[in-house]
Structure 1
């Protein structure tokens, strides 16, 4: 295998790992539904805030206590994780079957779409909306650190998968 082929194999493996991760998280959220649903409910309800939190104005205007909305939000998260995982896996498989072929870039693009969806779930969903809008940082059930970890790793993989080949001329890299 040439150097470009090895780099393509590496990118496909990384994409596969992220896809598998997203699918596994979505699956776990279904299998252990009640535990993870309790987390979403606590964040949206803002009912488990740390004693130091004095954001009563935020709680009064932002807390959502409707169980139907909790359930809808939780299913939206699960569906987002599963779709992101499926798209990432589809991109990874596309990369695996086109190593050293011109169509490899198609798998990369598909993976980048899946990675973007995953970043929307963990960064926009958990870090921005959960973390800031619902003040998850002050909630006893705080998932911000994990959300930032997941989003950062997925973003790094997207950059890696999209970057040009190392040690290859531009002519060789486009072949």
Structure 2
């Protein structure tokens, strides 16, 4: 790996490396999640059906009307979740490749504009927020009362996914620092 005159610590201690590592790990994580949802469909489909049907939650006439008991609707919701997870995985893994190519300075076969790695990372983590904060915590958690579901409560896992994506979004949107200017300002001893 040739760093073309940059100090190694400037690269390995950089925000870009942190974002590249997080994009790589979360990209593989969602690939594994989606793959698992394809190989263990019975358990996961039952979970979605349990949340939508609200069968094991607090029952009240003011909220019970929200329940969806159709197996077909549960299946469609499940398929859409799995497709979305695969899309998240592919976007984040594409971001990871773009970050690693940028960090290593490798020649690019395909010319891409500046900031593509950051834009892909931002898109991927925004997709995570839409799924887990929007879908799981807001719709599943509050509308279908998953937080009180004795059979399936994925609220803590959804919160975990949301927080990791939020950290990624914060990191990717931090302003760039000019390390050379920082060194020029800092008096040497």
TM-score, normalised by the number of residues in structure 1? 0.87
Deviations 1:45-72 (A, max 9, x none): 01112xxx2433211x200011110000
Distance 1:110 1:14, change over 3 A: same
Structure 2 residue 67 is matched with structure 1 residue 55: no
Structure 1 CA distance, aligned partners of 2:180 and 2:143?
47
Counterpart of 2:122? 112
1:137 correspondence with 2:151 = no
Specify the alignment match of 1:38 in structure 2. Answer: 46
Q: Tell me which of the two structures has the higher relative contact order, counting C-alpha pairs closer than 8 angstroms and 6 or more residues apart.
A: 1
- 1:170 CA drift (Å): 7.2
Q: How many residues align?
A: 168
Task: Determine helix, strand or coil for the equivalent of 1:57.
Answer: coil
Q: Any stretches of 5+ residues in structure 1 without a counterpart?
A: none
Corresponding position: 1:88 with 2:92: yes
- CA offsets per residue over residues 67-107 of structure 1, 9 Å max, x none? 11000000111111110111011011111111276956211
Match of 1:160 in 2: 171
| Pair 164,170 (structure 1): closer, same or farther in 2 beyond 3 Å | farther
Post-superposition offset of 1:113: 0.4
Unpaired stretches in structure 2, ≥5 consecutive residues: 106-111, 183-189
Q: Structure 1 pair 112/63, CA: closer, same or farther in 2 (3 Å)?
A: same
Shift in CA distance, 29/88, structure 1 to aligned 2, threshold 3 Å: same
Q: CA deviation at 1:146?
A: 0.9
| 1:64 aligned residue | 68
Which of the two has higher C-alpha Rg?
Answer: 2
What root-mean-square deviation, in Å, do the aligned CA atoms of Structure 1 and Structure 2 show? 2.3
- Of stretches 7-16 and 78-87 in structure 1, the one that deviates more from structure 2 is 7-16
Greater helix percent: which structure?
A: 1
Determine the C-alpha separation between the residues in 2 that align with 1:9 and 1:104. Answer: 16
